[in-house]
């Protein structure tokens, strides 16, 4: 039985997410043809060399003009500009989607450019690593991860269902969510933790009493995990914070209050508060493992592949 969901899928921005999608789509035979486009000629060359798609197009217009589904896989801050540039070439009845880590800002930037006869259905796979570029992708990236679909007002139900089947075919579990809620949830689960990791690694770098070699040599699991997260793509994360400003600031405010409370408990020797707090957080970790979203193995069993999720 054929598992093909779209005749032709075009992926724009051939980085980690697009390359993983191309491989996952190929693995399950979800498209008749996968076309790729990137503004960077070197990226296109690498994608051709590794046979990432059935075709790598030299122009944005030729890449999208026959596509049934176009997925924007560029940084959040570039979504609007790419949508504007490709809009005149889109086929009537096509669906445009994206994989951006922030949803309301992408909806605001992209929607004005989408022609009336084209569906726009934003999405966000909660799966990633700290690696970038067309060679970073792997077909299993989305397996048993969540992909959130964020329909806009009046989204066509058939087109939403088709996109949902695509993500399920790539191995993901799918949930439908509104943009505001998505941005708040991700501020808690991904965006603020990334900012904290960036800060912690920056602090270690500032502490000149601890030499670079000591930071590397004695890096314990906590700090090692921070450094992995803090190695994530600078452009992508700059855009995430600039476009999910309100929710991130709200969560950072709460984080700062909790940090002060723990700081006070340490200063005053209030062991009960610390113990109760750590007992509560341990239960959250257990819940994540029970939900199959991480492993209990030492070093979180991550090896080199599965890493930060935006």
User: Is 140 or 156 the residue whose CB approaches ligand NAP more closely?
Assistant: 140
The whole-angstrom distance between residue 36's C-alpha and the CA centroid of its chain comes to 19
CA distance 238 to 247: 15
**Least spacing, CB of residue 170 vs ligand NAP, in Å:** 13
**Least spacing, CB of residue 8 vs ligand NAP, in Å:** 18
Residues that bind ligand NAP (CB under 6 A): 12-18, 38-40, 43, 73-76, 78, 81-82, 99-101, 124-125, 128, 132-133, 233, 236, 308-310
Coil, helix or strand for 157?
helix
Alpha-carbon distances, residue 7 vs 20, 202, 211 (angstroms): 19, 47, 56
**Least spacing, CB of residue 39 vs ligand NAP, in Å:** 4
User: Is 49 or 212 the residue whose CB approaches ligand NAP more closely?
Assistant: 49
* Strand bridging mode 146-149 / 123-125: antiparallel
User: Is 125 or 151 the residue whose CB approaches ligand NAP more closely?
Assistant: 125
**Least spacing, CB of residue 104 vs ligand NAP, in Å:** 13
- Which of 120-159 are b and which e, b meaning 16 or more Cβ less than 10 Å from the residue's Cβ? bbbbbbbbbbbbbbbbbbbbbbbeebbbbbbbbeebeeeb
**Least spacing, CB of residue 207 vs ligand NAP, in Å:** 28
User: Is 177 or 215 the residue whose CB approaches ligand NAP more closely?
Assistant: 177
Place of tokens 């690593």: 129
Nearest-CA neighbor of 73 among 117, 106, 50, 108?
A: 106
Question: CA torsion, points 84, 85, 89, 94, in degrees to nearest 10?
Answer: -50
């Amino acid at each position: 039985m054929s598992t093909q969901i779209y005749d032709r899928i075009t992926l724009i921005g051939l980085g980690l997410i697009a390359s993983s999608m191309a491989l996952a789509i190929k693995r399950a035979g979800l498209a008749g043809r996968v076309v790729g486009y990137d503004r960077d000629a070197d990226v296109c060359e690498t994608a051709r060399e590794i046979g990432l798609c059935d075709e790598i197009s030299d122009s944005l217009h030729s890449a999208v003009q026959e596509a049934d589904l176009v997925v924007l896989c560029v940084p959040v801050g570039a979504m609007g500009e790419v949508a504007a540039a490709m809009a005149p070439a889109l086929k009537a009845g096509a669906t445009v989607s994206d994989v951006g880590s922030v949803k309301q800002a992408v909806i605001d930037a992209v929607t004005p450019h989408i022609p009336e006869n084209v569906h726009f259905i934003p999405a966000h796979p909660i799966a990633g690593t700290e690696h970038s570029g067309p060679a970073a992708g792997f077909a299993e990236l989305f397996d048993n991860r969540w992909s959130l679909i964020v329909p806009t007002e009046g989204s066509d139900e058939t087109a939403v269902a088709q996109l949902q089947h695509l993500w399920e075919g790539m191995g993901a579990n799918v949930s439908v969510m509104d943009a505001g809620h998505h941005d708040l949830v991700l501020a808690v689960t991904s965006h603020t933790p990334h900012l904290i990791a960036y800060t912690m690694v920056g602090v270690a770098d500032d502490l000149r009493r601890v030499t670079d070699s000591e930071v590397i040599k004695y890096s314990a699991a906590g700090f090692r995990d921070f450094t992995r997260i803090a190695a994530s793509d600078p452009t992508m994360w700059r855009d995430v914070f600039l476009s999910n400003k309100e929710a991130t600031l709200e969560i950072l405010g709460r984080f700062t209050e909790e940090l002060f409370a723990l700081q006070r408990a340490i200063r005053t020797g209030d062991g009960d508060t610390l113990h109760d707090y750590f007992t509560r957080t341990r239960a959250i970790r257990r819940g994540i493992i029970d939900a199959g979203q991480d492993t209990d193995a030492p070093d979180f069993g991550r090896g080199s592949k599965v890493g930060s999720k935006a």
